[in-house]
């Protein structure tokens, strides 16, 4: 989508849609007042008839019939208290109000950098539709192609930069959505690794891809155990963005299970049918690293994804098997469906030892238990570092994504004790997202670390708020905000 800044007046700009917000049906803004007058003063009547109460996200659409330059007027309900949230609501509604319309002019309640960025994110994100596998007439026509943000001077450098930032974040979020939505027969471990490498190299970043032989040579037995039942080779990809003068180094690690059948502890069909989503952590990691590079953030950002399927082939790993982690600890396998933590454990140890970052952050669709605890729309955040938890929570608020800090309860640690090995990889019946996090913690050593369990919000059965059905790209916007804030600390 092409988004332009313009100081043209709402009534004079030629576009298919003119989109404006209102928090009230009785007290109108000056802009809306003017538009209503031009349209013959019919809004009050229309609203009454349509039951429009200016509730956030509610919208009415009417033809302009030459009474202004735009062809249609769309009025969107907004909260009226938070200009940035309202910019998002209006921009998102614009994408949903366009059926055949290709261009929209948007009136923002406040024209500043934060609102411009929010509008850009909501426009590009809202126009997202996954159509790669539809053919002929069934292929989505792809709604809005262009948008104008009114009252924004295109020579204003801060606004231009905000537009750029919003565009990059939304495009990288949409890429993560595409990767999750792609079917697992095509988006297999080798393909996923290829996307990260190719996209990174396009930006001039260094990418290293490790195949099965290399993982064997390193001794990543936990990672390889998960891969045993699959006919497709595993891949680990490392991408480095290292700007000159960076004083901080953050490594993102992503769970890249391109399909999780559960392995021998096989999932029932109803739990398996969405398991192409099990690489959403890798997708978020890819999105964040590419966005950081495109935005030229002054922080070194590394991305490592562990890609494999969890399948039931003749060589599949079994409950009772014991494998040695890259870290040297022996692990007794309990349930082959708890595969993500095994892949991540070896990746985290590798990152700790080979990259020695100041901070490691993993994204993973790790546990159903996290969805039981927090619902579908919120991710679990685990870290021992209070300051980091606070900073991430702040970033998530600005990014409009929901996280909740979860405890790393020491009481549950003993549930990972094994009678025959150093550790078992699954704890007791309760607190499953916590014991999963405690297992990961065994492999991070002294490196500051945060684990984000995104099993719930990274894939949705139906659209919710600004998140589309299917892959949502959850985590990219917050990760970028966090890195921006970290870079600004100097």
**Binding site partner of 367, from ligand BES, Mn ion, Zn ion, none, Cβ cut-off 5-8 A by kind:** ligand BES
Catalytic entry in 34, 96, 267, 413 = 267
* Binding residue (CB under 6 A) for ligand BES from 16, 121, 171, 337: 337
List of residues 6+ apart from 125 with CB closer than 8 A: 92, 170, 173, 174, 466, 473
**Contact, 406 vs 434, CB < 8 A?**
yes
Scanning 65-73, 350-358, 365-373, 405-413 for contacts with ligand BES by CB under 6 A, the matching segment is: 365-373
Question: Closest CB to ligand BES among 182 and 480?
Answer: 182
Q: How far apart are CA 123 and CA 301, in angstroms?
A: 27
List of residues 6+ apart from 69 with CB closer than 8 A: 11, 12, 13, 14, 15
Structure tokens at 68: 């202004």
* Binding residue (CB under 6 A) for ligand BES from 151, 432, 473, 475: 432
Residues 332-391 that bind Mn ion (CB under 5 A): 337, 339
Question: Closest CB to Zn ion among 149 and 304?
Answer: 304
Vertex 134: Cα angle to 128 and 139 (nearest 5): 65
**Contact, 123 vs 147, CB < 8 A?**
yes
Q: How far apart are CA 312 and CA 318, in angstroms?
A: 10
Site string for Zn ion, 254-283 (x = CB under 5 A): ---x--x-----------------x-----
Structure tokens at 478: 């917050």
* Binding residue (CB under 6 A) for ligand BES from 340, 431, 468, 473: 340
Structure tokens at 359: 């901070």
Catalytic entry in 341, 352, 466, 481 = 341
Minimal CA–CA distance to 479: which of 258, 157, 181, 176?
A: 176
List of residues 6+ apart from 101 with CB closer than 8 A: 16, 17, 71, 72, 143, 144
**Contact, 421 vs 324, CB < 8 A?**
no
Strands 235-241 and 300-310 come out as antiparallel
The answer to whether 309 contacts Mn ion (rule: CB under 5 A) is no
**Binding site partner of 288, from Mn ion, Zn ion, ligand BES, none, Cβ cut-off 5-8 A by kind:** none
Tell me how far, at minimum, the Cβ of 310 lies from Mn ion, in Å: 6
Scanning 25-33, 49-57, 325-333, 336-344 for contacts with ligand BES by CB under 6 A, the matching segment is: 336-344
Q: Is residue 48 annotated as a catalytic residue, yes or no?
A: no
The answer to whether 416 contacts ligand BES (rule: CB under 6 A) is no
Scanning 165-173, 233-241, 301-309, 339-347 for contacts with Zn ion by CB under 5 A, the matching segment is: 339-347
Q: Which residue is nearest to Zn ion (CB)?
A: 260
Tell me how far, at minimum, the Cβ of 288 lies from ligand BES, in Å: 20
Residues 388-407 that bind Zn ion (CB under 5 A): none
**Contact, 143 vs 129, CB < 8 A?**
yes
Q: Is residue 267 annotated as a catalytic residue, yes or no?
A: yes
Binding site for Zn ion (CB under 5 A): 257, 260, 278, 340
Binding site for Mn ion (CB under 5 A): 260, 337, 339
- Positions marked active-site: 267, 341
């Amino acid at each position: 989508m092409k988004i332009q800044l313009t100081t043209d007046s709402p009534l004079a700009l030629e576009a298919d849609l003119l989109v404006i917000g209102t928090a009230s049906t009785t007290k109108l803004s000056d802009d809306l007042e003017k538009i209503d007058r031009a349209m013959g003063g019919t809004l009050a009547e229309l609203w009454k008839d349509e039951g429009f109460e200016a509730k956030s996200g509610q919208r009415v659409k009417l033809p302009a019939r030459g009474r202004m330059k735009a062809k249609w007027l769309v009025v969107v309900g907004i909260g009226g208290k938070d200009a940035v949230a309202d910019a998002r609501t209006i921009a998102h509604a614009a994408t949903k109000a366009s059926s055949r319309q290709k261009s929209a002019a948007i009136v923002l309640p406040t024209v500043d950098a934060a609102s411009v960025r929010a509008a850009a994110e909501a426009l590009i994100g809202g126009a997202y539709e996954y159509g790669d596998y539809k053919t002929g007439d069934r292929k989505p026509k792809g709604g809005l192609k262009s948008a104008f943000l009114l009252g924004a001077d295109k020579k204003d450098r801060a606004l231009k930069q905000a537009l750029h930032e919003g565009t990059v974040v939304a495009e990288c979020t949409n890429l993560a959505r595409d990767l999750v939505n792609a079917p697992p027969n095509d988006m297999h471990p080798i393909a996923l690794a290829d996307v990260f490498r190719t996209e990174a190299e396009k930006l001039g970043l260094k990418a290293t891809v490790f195949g099965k032989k290399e993982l064997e040579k390193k001794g990543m037995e936990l990672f390889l155990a998960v891969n045993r039942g699959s006919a497709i080779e595993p891949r680990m990809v490392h991408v480095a963005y290292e700007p000159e003068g960076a004083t901080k180094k953050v490594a993102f690690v992503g769970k890249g299970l391109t399909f999780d059948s559960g392995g021998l502890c096989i999932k029932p069909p109803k739990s398996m049918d969405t398991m192409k989503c099990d690489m959403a952590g890798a997708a978020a990691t890819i999105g964040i690293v590419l966005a950081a590079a495109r935005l030229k953030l002054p922080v070194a950002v590394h991305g490592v994804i562990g890609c494999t399927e969890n399948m039931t082939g003749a060589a599949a790993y079994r409950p009772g098997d014991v494998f040695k982690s890259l870290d040297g600890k022996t692990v007794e396998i309990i349930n082959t469906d708890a595969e993500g933590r095994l892949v991540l454990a070896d990746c985290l140890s590798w990152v700790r030892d080979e990259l020695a970052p100041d901070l490691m952050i993993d994204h993973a669709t790790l546990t159903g238990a996290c969805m039981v605890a927090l619902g579908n729309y919120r991710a679990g955040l685990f870290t021992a570092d209070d300051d980091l938890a606070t900073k991430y929570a702040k970033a998530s608020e600005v990014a409009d994504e929901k996280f909740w800090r979860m405890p790393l309860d020491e009481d549950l640690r003993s549930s990972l004790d094994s009678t025959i090995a150093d550790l078992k990889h699954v704890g007791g019946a309760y607190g499953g997202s916590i014991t999963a996090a405690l297992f990961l913690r065994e492999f991070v050593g002294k490196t500051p670390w945060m684990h984000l369990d995104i099993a719930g919000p990274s894939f949705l059965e139906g659209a919710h708020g600004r998140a589309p059905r299917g892959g949502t790209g959850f985590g990219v916007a917050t990760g970028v905000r966090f890195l921006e804030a970290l870079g600004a600390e100097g």
